Amino acid sequence: MSVTKQDFRDAMARLGAAVNVITTGGPAGRGGFTASAVCSVTDDPPMLLVCMNRNATAAPALRENANVCVNVVTAGQREVAMVFAGVTKCTMEERFDAGTWATLATGAPVLQGAVVSFDCKVVDIVDKGTHSVIFAEVAGIGRGSAHDHGLIYFGRDYHPVGKPAA
């Protein structure tokens, strides 16, 4: 049985995932994109992986800055996710007009009020097909309000999810 690109995309639309705004900042400037392909790798050392389209406009800055912040957005930050997904046509720097930003350990922009933000140093990047798999060691964590709902991407749309965290 052969699986077409469209078959795979349609099937993946049925796999709900947290919505994350991935950011980078440093000598190469700020950049960011929206991603759902994020997961933990290990807790010793604490490490995440992030999948990024190799043609993403933020890719050159991310590679040069060697840092990322995985900002897990709240349901109330849906518009921020849409801006970083490229739905709103603006420059990379104008994307940061959406939301309020700070920094933690690495200099990557941290979205204030996110469910949680993982500020990371990039330790490896592996290119596979159309995407780069970024391995990122967590250098700092920012926690948002425990009263916000999360946001998932399912069926090619954003949906609020869950009870607020305890």
Mean pLDDT over 52-70 rounds to 97
pLDDT of residue 164: 59
pLDDT at 121 over 80: yes
Closest by CA position to 122, among listed 34, 41, 57, 7: 41
Tokens 């705004």 sit at which residue? 21
Q: Strand 17-18 relative to strand 150-154: parallel, antiparallel, unpaired?
A: antiparallel
Q: Are 13 and 156 contacting, i.e. CB atoms less than 8 angstroms apart?
A: yes
42: helix, strand or coil: strand
**Is 14 a residue whose pLDDT tops 90?**
no
Please compute the mean of the pLDDT values over residues 74-95 and round it to a whole number. 94
Tokens of 110: 């941290």
Which domains occur in the chain, in start order? 19-155 (2.30.110.10)
Say whether pLDDT at 38 is over 70: yes
